[in-house]
Amino acid sequence: MNIYVGNLSPDVTEEELKELFAQFGQVTSASIIKDRYSGHSRGFAFVEMPAKSEGIAALMGLKGKTLRERTLDVSEARPRTDSRGGGRPYGGGGGRSGGRGGGRGGGRGGGYGGGYGGGKGRRY
């Protein structure tokens, strides 16, 4: 069972998390999520416990408990959705008087003001 642990103090270690969850059963892994650029903790982690019953016991036993003066937010981790790609949901560029060219109409890529040319007062 994969368990989400939130509201972690930045100085909590993976070893501390393993010890905390080990009181409820076997812990396969504990991974504190870190900022990819700074390497600092993002304040949450995932703990993997192979037996679902032990994972549920940990959820019940640790909900609302404190670790390093912070109340833990403990829940079953949701399956990861593939959100890679990070693009804008509706394309991007253009928009009202956005993009290159400004004004209404516009040349290539038009829409309502987007595109590359045809703006007000342009001479070619």
Which residue(s) pair with 6 in the sheet?
44, 73
Whether the model pTM is above 0.85? no
Domains of the chain: 2-76 (3.30.70.330)
Residue 123 confidence (pLDDT)? 62
Give me the mean pLDDT over the 101-112 stretch.
Answer: 53
Residue 104 confidence (pLDDT)? 53
Residue 28 confidence (pLDDT)? 97
Query: Does pLDDT of 95 surpass 60?
Result: no
Give me the mean pLDDT over the 73-81 stretch.
Answer: 91
Which is more confident, 69 or 103? 69
Residue 85 confidence (pLDDT)? 57
Give me the mean pLDDT over the 10-35 stretch.
Answer: 97
Residue 35 confidence (pLDDT)? 96
Range 89-92, long-range pairs (CB < 8 A, 24+ positions): none
